[in-house]
Structure 1
Amino acid sequence: MVTALEVASSVRDPELPVLTLADLGVLRDVTERDGKVLVTITPTYSGCPALEEMGADLRRSLRSAGFADVEVRTALSPAWSTDWISEAGLRKLREVGIAPPSRIGPRAVGPVPLNLVPPASRVVCPRCGSARTTEISRFGATACKALRRCADCAEPFEHVKEL
C-alpha cells in the first residue's frame, strides 16, 4: 500500500509542473494518525497565488489514493528559501531550460546589515552554460522568476530568483 507521504511527494507544483512540491521544498510534513492525514506546506512567499491550488491538489491526490480525511495546513515560519529546492529539483529546472537559483546558505542571526546595492548576480544560461547573461525583466511568468537573456546563444530563459 502506498503511504500518504509517497502520494503527497508526487504532487506537482502548479506553477513549475516539472517539480513536485517535495522537489520545490514546500512540502514540510505529512503525518498519518488515526485514519487522518495532516499535510503541512510552506509557500514560496506569503502571497503566493498557487497556495490554494497546492492544497486542493494535495487533498485531491490523497483522497484519490484512499485517504478520506485530509487536512492541509500552511506554516509560514520558518520562511521558505530557495535552498529548500532539492538537488533533483535544481537538475529538473536546468533540464527544462530554467536557470535554478544559487544556494544562499544559512540565514544570519542578529542584525542584518543594510546594503543599498544588490549583490552581483551570476546566472548561468541553462542552455549553453555561459555566464554572460543579463536580466531583461525582474519579473517573469511568476513573481518568483526573472526573465534573462544569454549574450552567447542569444536565447531568453527564466531564472528562479534566490529567496
Structure 2
Amino acid sequence: MTTFSEPSALGPRPSAVWNALASVPDPEIPVVSITDMGMVRGVSVDGEKVTVTFTPTFSGCPALHVIRASIEQAVRALGVADVEVRSTLTPPWTTDWINDAARERLREYGIAPPAPAEHGLIQLEAEPTPCPRCHSFDVRMTASFGPTLCKRMYVCDSCKEPFEGFKSV
C-alpha cells in the first residue's frame, strides 16, 4: 500500500493529491489509473478542503459511483476530512487524453489503444487496429461493442488471438 505525506494545517499540497489520484485504478482496466486516462481535470486545495474535478470516459458510465468513491477515499487517505468530488462532461473526455505510458500498458494488457481522435467526434468507421500481441494489422472486428461501450472486439488472423480495442472518441 502506498503511503502519502501528512497534510499541513492548511491542507495537502496539490501535488500530493495528484500523486494520490495516480494510484486510483480505472475500475474497468486496473492496469491504468484515472490520471493515466486523463479523467482528472483539476485539483483545488482551499485551506483544508480539497476539490477534485473529473470527466468520465463515458457520460453513462456505470462505474461513476466507483470512481467518485475511489477519488474520495484516496484524498481522505491523505488526512483530508473535507473532500468534494465533482464530475463534468464539458469538455467531453477524449481518448487523446490517455497518456503514452498508459497506452503501452493497455497494449501489454491485451487491449489495443485507440488511434488519435479526429475533431473530438466518435468515429463511425473502425480505424486500423493492430493486434496488441503480435502487432499485425491482419485483424477483423467481430463485434462493434465489447464488454464496455468504449471498446470493440477483434480477432487477429496472424496469431489467432481475440482482443479488445478502444474506440477513438
Task: Give 1:105 shift.
Answer: 4.7
When the two structures are superposed, what TM-score results if normalisation uses the length of structure 2? 0.86
Corresponding position of 1:65: 78
Corresponding position of 2:125: 119
Percent of aligned positions that are identical = 43
Task: Give 1:6 shift.
Answer: 1.1
Going from structure 1 to structure 2, the CA distance change for 1:162 and 1:107 (only over 3 Å counts) comes to: closer
Q: Distance in 1 between matches of 2:52 and 2:139?
A: 39
Going from structure 1 to structure 2, the CA distance change for 1:120 and 1:38 (only over 3 Å counts) comes to: closer
**Deviation digits for residues 12-71 of structure 1, max 9, x if unmatched?**
110111110011111111111110110000011211111111000011121122111111
Corresponding position of 2:97: 84
Specify every segment of 5 or more residues in structure 2 that has no aligned partner in the other structure, as ranges: 7-15
Task: Give 1:121 shift.
Answer: 2.2
Corresponding position of 1:42: 55
Measured on the aligned residues, the alpha-carbon RMSD in Å equals 1.7
Report the secondary structure of 1:149's partner residue.
Answer: strand
Going from structure 1 to structure 2, the CA distance change for 1:118 and 1:69 (only over 3 Å counts) comes to: closer
CA contact (8 A) 1:38 1:71 kept: yes
When the two structures are superposed, what TM-score results if normalisation uses the length of structure 1? 0.89
Alignment of structure 1 residues 122-141 onto 2, 5 Å: 122-141=128-147
CA contact (8 A) 1:25 1:84 kept: yes
Q: Distance in 2 between matches of 1:103 and 1:95?
A: 19
Moved over 6 A (4+): none
Partner letter of residue 158 of structure 2? D
Report the secondary structure of 2:35's partner residue.
Answer: helix
CA contact (8 A) 2:37 2:98 kept: yes
Task: Give 1:9 shift.
Answer: 2.2
CA contact (8 A) 1:133 1:148 kept: yes
**Paired positions, count:** 155
**Deviation digits for residues 81-115 of structure 1, max 9, x if unmatched?**
0001011110110111110000125448xxxxxxx
